[in-house]
Amino acid sequence: MNNKLLTIMLLSLVFGLGSLAHADNCQPGHDEVTIDGTTLSCEQCFYGTMRHGYNYLFNDTYNNANNYSHELETVDWYFQEEYDYNNSSSFPTFGLVDPNWNWLFPANDSLLFLESTSSYPIYSYPPSAADQSYDNFVVAFDLMVHGNLANGQQTPSRNHTECKYYEISRCGDGILDTDYDEACDDGNTIDGDGCESDCTLTPSTAGECASTYDGQTIYDFDSNGNALTQNTP
């Protein structure tokens, strides 16, 4: 099983202080998240795929594309899963990258400001394919922010909530995940049916699907590609 450590660029923040009502890439039914009884409306949504058998870190880069600086007053982060993806109650822990950070994002600058301090392993996945959709796993950030204008004044403070939804990829889910080197995915983990349980192609065997015909001779091959017989039709 692969067990790589991957770092996900979790959220890329581009604040537009005048677009509070605009839900950026938040699909209907995925534009809010309820955590511990509190419902948060997601102002921006991002989607990604994680892989069964892998560990993940999360981080957040703030891109301040406006021509004035932003100052954050509070940052709260939340982690929610509908299904227990690592067979335990442990969640990733988060922290600020620089504990001495002054909460100020310079104008036209970007910086990494938040990252998880523990990785999150994907050990399991929902047994039903219908339950492997985006709703099952979400990381949300709730930021209170205002802008510092060139004339020394500040914009009103407001909250900004971003949500990152995930679906879990695996061999046997019936979806060909070429990013994870799947040569095939027939929706099962049965060997010998053309697609193996590790999503490699079933090797050819003599006398079955390994014959070729070049117009004169039929060649049968073993699993190593060596010709076994030559039959002239």
Residues within the interface to Ca ion (CB under 5 A): 173, 175, 177, 185-186, 188, 190, 193, 195
Query: In angstroms, what is the minimal distance from the CB of 60 to Ca ion?
Result: 28
Would you tell me how many other CB atoms lie within 10 Å of the CB of residue 106? 12
Query: In angstroms, what is the minimal distance from the CB of 124 to Ca ion?
Result: 15
Report the residue number, 201 or 228, with the smaller CB distance to Ca ion.
201
Query: In angstroms, what is the minimal distance from the CB of 203 to Ca ion?
Result: 13
Report the residue number, 56 or 62, with the smaller CB distance to Ca ion.
56
Report the residue number, 98 or 191, with the smaller CB distance to Ca ion.
191
Query: In angstroms, what is the minimal distance from the CB of 200 to Ca ion?
Result: 10
Query: In angstroms, what is the minimal distance from the CB of 174 to Ca ion?
Result: 7
Tell me if residue 15 falls in helix, strand or coil: coil
CA atoms of 158 and 143, how far apart (whole Å): 8
CA atoms of 41 and 23, how far apart (whole Å): 9
Cβ neighbours for 41, distance < 8 A, ≥ 6 positions apart: 23, 31, 32, 161
Amino acid at 126: P
CA atoms of 190 and 70, how far apart (whole Å): 54
Q: What are phi and psi of 99, to 5 degrees?
A: -65, -20
Report the residue number, 71 or 186, with the smaller CB distance to Ca ion.
186
Q: What are phi and psi of 36, to 5 degrees?
A: 55, 40
Query: In angstroms, what is the minimal distance from the CB of 171 to Ca ion?
Result: 5
Report the residue number, 115 or 177, with the smaller CB distance to Ca ion.
177
**Contact at 8 Å (CB) between 168 and 132?**
yes
CA atoms of 175 and 202, how far apart (whole Å): 17
Query: In angstroms, what is the minimal distance from the CB of 173 to Ca ion?
Result: 5
Report the residue number, 104 or 190, with the smaller CB distance to Ca ion.
190
Report the residue number, 190 or 218, with the smaller CB distance to Ca ion.
190
Give DSSP secondary structure letters for 139-163. Answer: EEEEEEEEEE-TTS-BPPPEEEEEE
